[in-house]
Amino acid sequence: MKKYSSAPVGAVGVRRNLPANMMRSAGFTLIEMIAVLVLIGIVMGVVANRVGDSINRGKVNAGIAQMRSLATKVENYALDNGGPPSSLNDLVARPSSASNWNGPYATESALKDPFGHPFQYKAPGDDGRDFDIVFLGKDGQPGGDGLNKDVGNWQ
């Protein structure tokens, strides 16, 4: 005849006749928890990198749009005053040489790209253009490709 324990099945402190490997599987080991945390960290790093790239691509596209808007403001200045300004600051404050100045044509913040770098301006421009405005990309340095590519108002 079998003897039965008076303790309920699964009660704390009652040892059942289970194989040794089932007794140890009640929780996670420290190594398993560290491995899971490392994997979560890797996934979070990849996601953060992708989000950062998307934000920078958005800033580059905004910088190109802002450069084109600034070119329109320079053209408005040229229509009022007979030629493009000698510097972009002439769009913000009236220069002494501009007799028909109807500005301000731009704000001080419009003279910098989304990365905080000033737009490059030259009047007269190259190849017979009245003026050139160049957005230098993310790095703010001449040259580069990808997010650091230079874009001019004539492109």
What are the residue boundaries of the structural domains of the chain, listed by start?
29-152
- Of the pLDDT bands very low, low, confident and very high (cuts 50, 70, 90), residue 144 is confident
- Of the pLDDT bands very low, low, confident and very high (cuts 50, 70, 90), residue 85 is very high
Residue 45: the pLDDT is 87
pLDDT at 4 over 60: no
pLDDT at 119 over 60: yes
pLDDT at 15 over 80: no
Distance CA 82, CA 99 (A): 10
Mean pLDDT for 74-92 is 90
> Which of these CATH numbers, 3.30.700.10, 3.30.300.20, 1.10.645.10, 3.40.47.10, describes 29-152?
3.30.700.10
In tens, the pLDDT along 49-77 reads 787 788 888 988 999 999 999 999 999 99
Residue 126: the pLDDT is 86
- In 3D space, the residue among 115, 150, 149, 146 whose CA is nearest the CA of residue 133 turns out to be 150
pLDDT at 100 over 70: yes
Distance CA 63, CA 57 (A): 10
Amino acid (1-letter code) at residue 124? P
Q: Quote the Cα angle for 71-146-67, to 5°.
A: 10
Work out the mean pLDDT of the chain and round it to a whole number. 83
pLDDT at 139 over 70: yes
Residue 12: the pLDDT is 57
Residue 102 corresponds to which tokens in the numbers above?
């109807």
Rounded to the nearest 10°, the torsion over CA 126, 127, 130, 136 is: -40
Distance CA 131, CA 91 (A): 14
Amino acid (1-letter code) at residue 123? A
- In 3D space, the residue among 118, 133, 114 whose CA is nearest the CA of residue 62 turns out to be 114
Of 13-22, 42-51, 91-100, 131-140, minimum mean pLDDT range: 13-22
